[in-house]
Amino acid sequence: MLDRVVSVASRPGRCPPATCVGSRLRLLSAEGQRLALAGSPYGYDVVVHIGGWRQESRATYREIHAALTSRGRIAESHVGYLDQQVSLPLLACHERHHRARLAQIATPQGGWIVALDGLAPQGGAPQIWCIRALSSGLTLRSGWRAHQDQPTCEAFLEPLQHLAWPMLAVLRDKQKGLVPAVAAVVPPRRHPFCQAHSLRNLAAPLAEAEAAFKGALRSTVREHVGDVLRQEPRTASSPTGVLTVTGLVPSALEKPTAPAAHTPTPRGPRPEAEAAADAIITQLFGHTR
């Protein structure tokens, strides 16, 4: 256990009358089974802590092993065994307790509205898929699929036919093999496509089109008004090349200098309409730039 080492022995019970149909059965101790899994030298408290550190804290087996060695002796390889062979099956059994909650949700709406989705695989690895109830977010079914063809999808969806409530709608994307598989397993239901997938797939070509449009716009602006823009006077920069510095260690303030006298360039008389047009065009060029 986490706090002590105990020695547990169990003497199975039996029904004494030989005429009883259960006389050959050996009744194990319920109290002993609550301490540890049969054949396991570690209690359920150790298993639960390993699963919690692994699932909630995303700890590695080495980190879990380092935390447990201060409380007892355990091998690092056995930490992985308890997580994969004991903790995960117990977690799956615990999820079965949500069946009553699922029934309460399905009763008023007359069935299920489920969503199918898979995570993108990496390096040719199998793809993990999940079937979730949209009203509650509970996972009805999850598993790895090595193939994306129709037979594999049908085998993954087949348990949905045995639920106590019908499928009202199945939300999914246009994954290869998934469209005909859903139609074969739950044919009379609605099969809407996921808008999030559609918008995500639409974003890539839109981004490429926008980038191409910006490039064409810059080329057009430079071609028509590039000479005018290049004639604008450039603002004077700092001698050091540093414009503005903020933070805990700013630059020292420079001594103010007297502004140079501005001598207007003599120009000839211009019509008021031409001067107003120049002001408007200059403003438009600056905004376009």
Per residue in 50-108, pLDDT (tens digit) is: 998 998 888 999 999 998 988 888 898 999 999 988 888 888 777 777 777 777 777 77
Q: Which residue has the higher pLDDT, 175 or 262?
A: 175
Q: Is 154 exposed, middle or buried (0-12, 13-18, 19+ CB in 10 A)?
A: middle
Model confidence band, residue 239 (pLDDT cutoffs 50, 70, 90)? low
- Chain-wide mean pLDDT for the chain? 79
| Per-residue model confidence (pLDDT) at position 258 | 62
- Residue 20's pLDDT is 87
Sorted by where each begins, the domain ranges of the chain are 30-97, 110-192
How far apart, in whole angstroms, are the C-alpha atoms of residue 93 and residue 61? Answer: 23
The pLDDT assigned to 63 comes to 92
User: 110-192 — its CATH code?
Assistant: 3.30.420.10
Highest mean pLDDT among 146-150, 231-235, 240-244: 146-150
- Per DSSP (E only), the strands in the chain are 112-118, 127-133, 139-145, 167-171
Q: Mind listing the pLDDT tens digit for each residue in 25-55?
A: 888 888 888 888 888 889 999 999 999 899 8
pLDDT of 95 reads 72
| pLDDT top residue among 86 and 265 | 86
For position 287, what pLDDT does the model report?
A: 67
pLDDT reading at 225 higher than 70: yes
Residue 161 has pLDDT above 70, yes or no: yes
The pLDDT value given to residue 50: 92
Lowest mean pLDDT among 26-40, 126-140, 253-267: 253-267
- The tokens of 76 are what? 């690092």
Average pLDDT over residues 258-285: 67
Q: Which of 49, 56, 114, 117 lies closest to 83, judged by CA?
A: 49
**Position 237 pLDDT exceeds 60:** no
Closest CA to 99 of 185, 165, 48: 165
Q: In the numeric block, which tokens belong to residue 176?
A: 């290869």
Range from 30-39, 126-135, 269-278 carrying the lowest mean pLDDT: 269-278
Q: Which residue has the tokens 């879990």?
A: 64
204: phi then psi, degrees, rounded to nearest 5: -65, -55
CA dist., res. 191 & res. 182, Å (int): 8
More confident residue, 42 or 247: 42
Contact 114, 133 (CB under 8 A): yes
Contacts of 94 (CB under 8 A, 6+ apart): none
Look up residue 182 and give its two tokens.
Answer: 């859903």
The more confidently predicted of residues 124 and 66 is 66
